[in-house]
Amino acid sequence: MITRMSTLFLRTLREDPADAEVPSHKLLVRAGYIRRVAPGGFAWLPLGLMMLRSIEHIVREEMNAIGAQEIQFPALLPREPYEATGRWTEYGPNVFRLTDRKGADYLLGPTHEELFTLTVKGEYGSYRDYPVMLYQIQTKYRDEARPRAGLLRGREFVMKDSYSFDLDQEGLTRSYRLHRDAYQRIFDRLGLSYVIVAATSGAMGGSASEEFLADAATGEDTYVRSPDSGYAANVEAVVTPAPEAKPIERLPAAQVHYTPDTPTIETLVDFLNTRAGLGRTFTAADTLKNVMVKVRQPGGSEWELLAVAVPGDRDVDMKRLEAALEPAEVAVISDEDFERYPFLVKGYIGPKALQDNKVRFLVDPRIVPGTAWVTGADKPDHHVVDLTCGRDFVPDGTIEAAEVREGDPAPDGSGPLIAARGIEVGHIFQLGTKYTDAFEVDALGPDGKPARITMGSYGIGISRLVAAIAEQHHDEQGLVWPRTVAPADVHIVLAGKDEAIAEQGERLAAELDAAGVRVILDDRGSSPGVKFADAELVGVPTIMVVGKGLQKGVVEFKDRASGERTEVSVGEAVDHVRGLLGRVSPGRDGR
């Protein structure tokens, strides 16, 4: 195909859009791939749509190759199936809900477990029917609290979602493995650098779950890994190793101290070490920070107070806290809340007032019986020292809410963790029977007895991938696409107004097209400078300049990624491009 810049529906921009913060968002808008329509909603312009289709194509090939079959559901879905699994309520404000003219409730599908499960139940009944894997590539809707970064977090976005249905765990393990392998092939073909990490299963429910995170400093997810053991996990899924409980008998009794003007951990530690006269040295890790939040159960109207205690040298990581409390909603408490609960003395909150007032009190797993802490004494300017867990306070349980830091010990004991950021581009789950229980999906066995079907669900963020690839493949001048997803194979710049240039350029474009090469031809009347700048911005991997070189009988090739320039005689130009394609992307249109 030849895409002509003279007629292509494209207007590139020299300036970054005002609302864009991350490189992919800036460049995809500037290079004319997408345009914003609403918060978290984008129009795909021709170049963007070509890319989206290339990604879909690769995903389809790999899904079909593992035997998954494509079907398609509507995005507009009735309430009842989601009511049956509890997700109508659990999803809370993240779901777009609407009412039809007859007053019936609908939602715009955030994910489709319910519908796939019901459909399989409707069609299949015997053990002979199974296993089956089904998928769709479809638009999803989530009323995200913070749509951001362009395509990275949309409220309307394209997802590939697939679902496996098996007779037993062995089958599910196999389906899961097939998907995991297919995902690796997909992300490899897309030219992504990524890691596979242990994940929490969130609103999907179920057990085993892993995420595919594309490496990117701009990513919203933080993961840790242990270089020695291969352990890797999203920080949301990191389980803090708990120390052994210690004997309490000989520990000193708790004492309340007057600690004026010490509302922060820093001021407190400084006071303890310089003015308290305790004859001991304290660090922030010896203090206990009681962080107040409020929690609302799905569908509930009341907020419940919750205290989360963490060692004072760590912050509470809201994403970890949210993951630990899901599907409940969490919010930090406001000044009004403080006023409502006079027993909460800001800056000096301690376990005693919390427990006396029946506030749920959850602690970091490091806070075990026999550990002694400096913490608030529930009155201004006072702290209590040697407050001992298991003796002076008994928590209501533990919670994974403290931030995970680089250098923390790996849960598998293999040494210190390394931290990095990434973009979640895929997520695979072993759901088990959560949905088949809700809808009673059984297969009749050879003995005539019913057996419950077990499920997996597997997502890929197709539209998010466009941005994730852009995050990894760009430079100062613009986008630098991997060949497998680029909107064209070669971008021909006609540099100059000579007849001969236009003539040779047109001829080469036609020959390349005939050879199955996807060509962008810049046949506009613009200056060479403008054309070069646009070619760099648009990001096709090979730029071919037809210009002055013709006098010597050559055209110039520029590799967009390396910047390397090569002169090739006009007669060999087509073969040169074919060589590039053959060498760089052996698996292009097939496997």
For residue 245, the 8-state DSSP code is P
Asked if 426 is part of the footprint of ligand ATP (rule: CB under 6 A), the reply reads yes
Sign of CA pseudo-dihedral 60, 65, 73, 213? negative
Separation of alpha carbons 62 and 590, rounded Å: 10
- Residue 234 CB, nearest approach to Mg ion (Å): 9
The one among 109, 150, 311, 459 contacting ligand ATP by CB under 6 A: 459
The one among 129, 144, 337, 412 contacting ligand ATP by CB under 6 A: 144
Collect all residues with Cβ–Cβ distance below 8 Å to 53 and sequence separation of at least 6.
none
CB atoms within 10 A of CB 496: 17
The residue (of 461 and 482) whose beta carbon lies closer to ligand ATP is: 461
- Residue 383 CB, nearest approach to ligand ATP (Å): 38
Q: With contact defined as beta carbons under 8 Å apart, do 260 and 377 qualify?
A: no
Residues numbered 85-114 forming contacts with ligand ATP, rule: CB under 6 A = 111
- In the chain, the N- to C-terminal Cα span, in Å, equals 22
Collect all residues with Cβ–Cβ distance below 8 Å to 324 and sequence separation of at least 6.
399, 400, 401
CA distances from 352 to 277, 365, 371, 385, 482 (A): 25, 19, 16, 13, 59
The residue (of 136 and 375) whose beta carbon lies closer to ligand ATP is: 136
The one among 25, 26, 87, 142 contacting ligand ATP by CB under 6 A: 142
Q: Which stretch binds Mg ion (CB under 5 A): 22-30, 138-146, 421-429, 534-542?
A: 421-429
What is the per-residue DSSP string for 308-319? EEEETTS-B-HH
- Residue 123 CB, nearest approach to ligand ATP (Å): 25
Q: How many residues bind Mg ion (CB under 5 A)?
A: 1
Tell which residue, 492, 500, 508, has the closest CA to residue 570.
Answer: 508
Asked if 153 is part of the footprint of ligand ATP (rule: CB under 6 A), the reply reads yes
Collect all residues with Cβ–Cβ distance below 8 Å to 457 and sequence separation of at least 6.
111, 113, 161, 162, 163, 164, 204, 206, 428, 429, 431
The residue (of 154 and 311) whose beta carbon lies closer to ligand ATP is: 154
Residue nearest to Mg ion (CB): 427
What is the token pair recorded at 172?
A: 């599910």
Asked if 483 is part of the footprint of Mg ion (rule: CB under 5 A), the reply reads no
Tell which residue, 424, 439, 427, has the closest CA to residue 162.
Answer: 427
Q: How many residues bind ligand ATP (CB under 6 A)?
A: 16
Asked if 474 is part of the footprint of Mg ion (rule: CB under 5 A), the reply reads no
Asked if 153 is part of the footprint of Mg ion (rule: CB under 5 A), the reply reads no
Q: Which stretch binds ligand ATP (CB under 6 A): 25-33, 119-127, 460-468, 540-548?
A: 460-468
Residue nearest to ligand ATP (CB): 461
Asked if 160 is part of the footprint of Mg ion (rule: CB under 5 A), the reply reads no
Q: Which residue has the tokens 């390396």?
A: 562
Sign of CA pseudo-dihedral 213, 215, 216, 217? positive
- Residue 52 CB, nearest approach to Mg ion (Å): 20
Q: With contact defined as beta carbons under 8 Å apart, do 349 and 376 qualify?
A: yes
Environment class of 413 (CB within 10 Å of its CB; exposed 0-12, middle 13-18, buried 19+):
exposed
Pick what 157 binds: ligand ATP, Mg ion, none; C-beta below 5 to 8 Å, kind-dependent.
Answer: ligand ATP
The one among 25, 427, 434, 473 contacting Mg ion by CB under 5 A: 427
Asked if 26 is part of the footprint of Mg ion (rule: CB under 5 A), the reply reads no
- Residue 470 CB, nearest approach to ligand ATP (Å): 14
Q: Which stretch binds ligand ATP (CB under 6 A): 31-39, 346-354, 420-428, 524-532?
A: 420-428
The residue (of 149 and 384) whose beta carbon lies closer to ligand ATP is: 149
Pick what 144 binds: Mg ion, ligand ATP, none; C-beta below 5 to 8 Å, kind-dependent.
Answer: ligand ATP
Backbone angles phi, psi at 267, to 5 degrees: -65, -35
- Residue 427 CB, nearest approach to Mg ion (Å): 4
Separation of alpha carbons 47 and 25, rounded Å: 15
Per CB under 5 A, residues contacting Mg ion are 427
Per CB under 6 A, residues contacting ligand ATP are 111, 142, 144, 153-154, 157, 159, 202, 424-427, 459, 461, 463-464
